[in-house]
A and B are shown apart, each in its own frame.
Chain A
């Protein structure tokens, strides 16, 4: 018989179940080991500690006059800070939120009505809207205007015209004092 090894199987080896259990255990251990080993390779791609350390930005608001707007950087993105005038606040509050494409009341978007803090990235395809620098076109609602495809935002940063689907995003922030905020 030219079989490879059949003639050599030892008699008395009926421990099929035990052997399979052993093999199963070995396979399970191997699988767990492989999975655990892969995790550090993947996790090393997550933001490193030094990147995370830069994940908050503190801004001193005192030099910003009413009616002035400031751009700062947070996690690599522009942040629009608007010290709103009473007229701008009134305009924002008087809008009927339910008529908007992305319904949001002004009070849901600010912590103190005279300070508007938003991520300055158009929610359409990611351009940076105009309106934060003096002399910029602010669009017909007194807020911001995106030159790429014509989205127009109002004095609360809500989308009023153009292709953008959502209002300008509000980042997580808090007032550390009356004149300072910490973003992130």
Chain B
């Protein structure tokens, strides 16, 4: 398949009707420009699959969510029973429910990996700062969980001085988490995915301004550094999608409750607190940070800061070099963050007693140390390795070409 030279205008759809539409609403032209012929670095590795994967999961969650919403009853007396009805009586209800529940875990897993790719390869650096910040906004945890989690989290707002308790009453719509709370959380739960879709579109718009980063962290210098998105990355993304779906299917069909809690199979009871209130695994690290501080307000601030600090990353990192491949110290140090996150996750899953408390405090301190001290410092003191001359050179090897015009260097 011959690749048209860049940047020739596309021939347009052959079909007359499509051309009529395209002249008035350039849909096909946009698809050609932003998807089919879109230039992408030729050296992307599999860490670059996770962005499109996250998009696919978002679509899956919205599709299953909309259908589930046709059967779910957001009334405190009926909600639990309506979910059981979905599981037992609605055709394929069990499948939709397990897809939606496990899909949430998968979404966070994919997004965390996507985020770490950004950290490792410096994708948040100039000129992609806003792209990065939009991504963080998509991630922001919108707590949407079971009854007791809702009580705990909304109670957090009472930490705000002066107006805290009034805010909590406002959030709850009552004096405790109850039916009004459930209803409004559900309304937001239905709304937020579409808000996320809008932010994703902004995220893609920002991305297409300068194109993807790449494992070498150097800019594209010319056309030989890039290949068309279609068919190379479409097929690669589809392959990655198959691998993901395999893992997803194993969870849905053979271990659908592995990532959940037995406690969520007990109807909510305002009079009985379960022994261990634990959020879903993807919120455990934040939970650990929250609990590591004895002061309620400080704990809340620290927990939200742990996400907001990501927004500052483009300015905290002083290194001129993007990719960790050419930063020998940061290359190793960057792995300390996911390790720290795992430790925090473990701490969050355990009752806060004994050495768990100390471990949690140390891990929390390290988390902020990593971003506020280590990364700025490393940028200053580290000696990066020499960067390759171009992507093409790194991929294809040095060529002894005669210096000809139009070489595209």
Interface residues of A (CB under 8 A from B): 1-8, 26, 30, 40-41, 43-46, 48-51
Contacts of A45 in B (CB 8 A): 67, 70
* Given A2-B408, A4-B226, CB of A49 within 8 Å of CB of B5: no
**Do residues B63 and A50 form an inter-chain contact, with CB atoms below 8 A?**
no
User: What is the size category of the interface that chain B forms with chain A?
Assistant: 20 to 34
**Do residues B238 and A44 form an inter-chain contact, with CB atoms below 8 A?**
no
State which of A2, A30, A44, A50 has its C-beta within 8 Å of the C-beta of B5.
Answer: A2
**Do residues A6 and B2 form an inter-chain contact, with CB atoms below 8 A?**
yes
Contacts of A3 in B (CB 8 A): 3, 5-6, 223
A48 vs B93: C-alpha distance in the bound complex, in angstroms? 9
State which of B91, B406, B408 has its C-beta within 8 Å of the C-beta of A48.
Answer: B91
Q: Mark B224-237, 1 if CB is under 8 A from A, else 0.
A: 10111000000100
Mark out the residues of chain B between 69 and 96 whose CB falls within 8 Å of any chain A CB in the assembled complex.
70-71, 85, 88-93, 95-96
Q: Closest Cβ of chain A: how far from B10's Cβ, in Å? A: 14
- The listed residue with most B CB atoms (<10 A of its CB), out of A4, A6, A43, is A4
Q: Mark B383-409, 1 if CB is under 8 A from A, else 0.
A: 000000000000010000000001010
* Given A41-B64, A45-B67, A48-B85, CB of A5 within 8 Å of CB of B3: yes
**Do residues A4 and B67 form an inter-chain contact, with CB atoms below 8 A?**
no
Q: Closest Cβ of chain A: how far from B167's Cβ, in Å? A: 38
* Given A26-B238, A40-B91, A40-B96, CB of A4 within 8 Å of CB of B227: yes
**Do residues A43 and B3 form an inter-chain contact, with CB atoms below 8 A?**
no
Q: Does B39 contact A (CB under 8 A)?
A: yes
Instruction: Report whether over half of chain A's contact residues are helix, strand or loop; otherwise say mixed.
Output: helix
State which of B67, B223, B226, B406 has its C-beta within 8 Å of the C-beta of A41.
Answer: B67
Contacts of B85 in A (CB 8 A): 48, 50
Contacts of A46 in B (CB 8 A): 91
Contacts of A50 in B (CB 8 A): 85, 89
**Do residues B224 and A4 form an inter-chain contact, with CB atoms below 8 A?**
yes
- The listed residue with most A CB atoms (<10 A of its CB), out of B39, B70, B89, is B89
A50 vs B87: C-alpha distance in the bound complex, in angstroms? 12
Q: Does B222 contact A (CB under 8 A)?
A: yes
Contacts of A49 in B (CB 8 A): 88-91
Closest 4 pairs between A and B when the two form their complex, measured CB to CB: A40-B92, A49-B89, A48-B89, A50-B89
Chain B residue at minimum C-beta to C-beta distance from A40? B92
State which of A6, A44, A48 has its C-beta within 8 Å of the C-beta of B3.
Answer: A6
**Do residues B89 and A41 form an inter-chain contact, with CB atoms below 8 A?**
no
Q: Mark B29-69, 1 if CB is under 8 A from A, else 0.
A: 00000000001001000000000000000000001100100
Q: Closest Cβ of chain B: how far from A13's Cβ, in Å? A: 12
* Given A4-B3, A5-B227, CB of A43 within 8 Å of CB of B92: yes
Contacts of B223 in A (CB 8 A): 2-4
Contacts of B89 in A (CB 8 A): 48-51
Contacts of A5 in B (CB 8 A): 3, 42, 224, 227-228
**Do residues A2 and B406 form an inter-chain contact, with CB atoms below 8 A?**
yes
Q: Closest Cβ of chain B: how far from A14's Cβ, in Å? A: 14
Contacts of B224 in A (CB 8 A): 2, 4-5, 7
Q: Closest Cβ of chain B: how far from A26's Cβ, in Å? A: 7
A3 vs B67: C-alpha distance in the bound complex, in angstroms? 47
Q: Mark B173-203, 1 if CB is under 8 A from A, else 0.
A: 0000000000000000000000000000000
Contacts of B64 in A (CB 8 A): 41
**Do residues A44 and B90 form an inter-chain contact, with CB atoms below 8 A?**
yes
A94 vs B96: C-alpha distance in the bound complex, in angstroms? 58
Q: Closest Cβ of chain A: how far from B152's Cβ, in Å? A: 33
Q: List 13 A-B contacts (CB under 8 A).
A: A2-B5, A2-B224, A3-B6, A4-B6, A5-B227, A26-B238, A40-B92, A44-B67, A44-B71, A44-B91, A48-B93, A49-B88, A49-B90
**Do residues B91 and A43 form an inter-chain contact, with CB atoms below 8 A?**
yes
**Do residues B92 and A8 form an inter-chain contact, with CB atoms below 8 A?**
no
A3 vs B407: C-alpha distance in the bound complex, in angstroms? 10
Chain A residue at minimum C-beta to C-beta distance from B68? A44
Q: Closest Cβ of chain B: how far from A6's Cβ, in Å? A: 6
A49 vs B39: C-alpha distance in the bound complex, in angstroms? 51
Mark out the residues of chain B between 332 and 365 whose CB falls within 8 Å of any chain A CB in the assembled complex.
none
Contacts of B91 in A (CB 8 A): 40, 43-44, 46, 48-49
Contacts of B96 in A (CB 8 A): 40-41, 44
State which of A2, A8, A40, A44 has its C-beta within 8 Å of the C-beta of B222.
Answer: A2
A4 vs B1: C-alpha distance in the bound complex, in angstroms? 13
**Do residues A48 and B90 form an inter-chain contact, with CB atoms below 8 A?**
yes
A5 vs B222: C-alpha distance in the bound complex, in angstroms? 11
A6 vs B89: C-alpha distance in the bound complex, in angstroms? 57
State which of A1, A4, A40, A51 has its C-beta within 8 Å of the C-beta of B39.
Answer: A4
A36 vs B126: C-alpha distance in the bound complex, in angstroms? 44
A51 vs B93: C-alpha distance in the bound complex, in angstroms? 14
- The listed residue with most A CB atoms (<10 A of its CB), out of B6, B90, B93, is B90
Q: Mark B78-118, 1 if CB is under 8 A from A, else 0.
A: 00000001001111110110000000000000000000000
Contacts of A40 in B (CB 8 A): 91-92, 95-96
